[in-house]
Structure 1
Amino acid sequence: MGEAMGCGGQVSEERLAAIERDLTPTWRALPKLAGGRVERRSLRYIVHRFFSRQSQLHVRGFEPTRPLNASGWGDADILSLRVPAFVESILMSKHKTERGFDLRDAALVVAMVEQLIFDSESTLLEKVYSEQEKSLLKSLSHEGLAQVLESYMVHWMMGDDPNGIRILLSNRTLLETAFPHWEQLAMFVRGEVQAVAFQRQRPSIAGSEVSRLGHNALAGMYSFDDAHR
């Protein structure tokens, strides 16, 4: 099962342990097969519940109402990315030979999906930078970062609709009509930028006064990694 993580990189033991702790209350309530394992439907449910509860994300392919004979994870759309088909074959093989999945299996699936979401967000953010003719290597001002993140939100909500995205980004009035709560979303985005700026202004525990001055001098600029956070 751990080999499936090759799609997005290695996951630390600490992260897996943290995911297992989060999953444990739900895991305990699930009906078990012999050996304390769960069937595929329950595995799908616990993964879906994790993301729904943690970040209010509903990941396609893991919905509890998804028919058991529906396409496997290899065909599941996750924020414009697809879970590799070999993951499905690994899970199905394990399911057949060991009659179910354990808590570590569930944690590994969650970690894999987290990585796919992270990679998807990075790809979309790079697209927004490109559309705004901003370099990934150059830092942005407070206002520049806010513009990028607002555009990112529109892309994220509109999905695969380039014409609709272009129209909304060029017409603020239409954007606010299409998304009645847009102003609140925009305020949230700018609040997140302010939060990053506030954290940067906190003095370093071990840093000298000179290093703090140098750090604060750059506090108003934001890198691509800052935007991705």
Structure 2
Amino acid sequence: MTGSVVIAGLGPGSDALVTPEVRAALDAATDIIGYIPYVRRVAPRAGLTRHESDNRVEIDRARHALTLAAGGARVVVVSSGDPGVFAMASAVFEAVEHGERAWRELDVRVLPGITAMLAAAARVGAPLGHDFCAINLSDNLKPWALIEKRLRLAVEADFAMAFYNPRSASRPEGFVRALDVLRETCAPDRVMIFARAVCTPDEQITVRPLAEADPGMADMRTLVLVGSSATRLIPRKGAPFVYTPRSVPA
């Protein structure tokens, strides 16, 4: 029996944003592996085993998936959003590189998903309409000094930015530092978008200038978008439109 590993993105939260390709993989799976809330997004059924694990055991989770696949299982490793954006795809390939030689011959595929970054941008218009970058503000796997360096360089390059994992309960000071850097380097009217639990029933979208941004507006369920200096806000009744023009004056 030949096993396989599919690394799948479940999208930002709504079942309507799970791709048909991912749905087909989930329907064919014998085993689902992932972080607890992501695994629970997959309904139980006969013939399917769901393996839940904590958020800080990514390599162990990847090895488990590869071991099951080597034994013939059809494994789907689930992530929210896209599995290649601060998610499980990298962990699986790291496990392949440093693990059993036979794992390199397994059928391993990555199925893309809609990221929170793209879903949040779509809610307000097109803030990522020109060049942009994504930065994970968590310092669990890299030092804060590197995060700050990348943040300052992104501001210098005048990218629009998407911040993942901005503010955890155990490390709330990280987003405070990020706001300090932005206030040192950006105009006070720089557009910021706080998209909490985007595409779920708990969704909250807040648009504020940098001068009015507060650390309490973000948590680990929040995706933060920061416009470039060219990003425009169009006032109207209700929430404004936000977009970044595709052209840059010479």
Q: Is the shorter-chain TM-score for this pair beyond 0.5, marking a shared fold?
A: no
Q: Which has the higher helix share?
A: 1
TM-score, normalised relative to structure 2:
0.24
**Higher alpha-carbon Rg:** 1
Q: Which has the higher strand share?
A: 2
TM-score, normalised relative to structure 1:
0.26
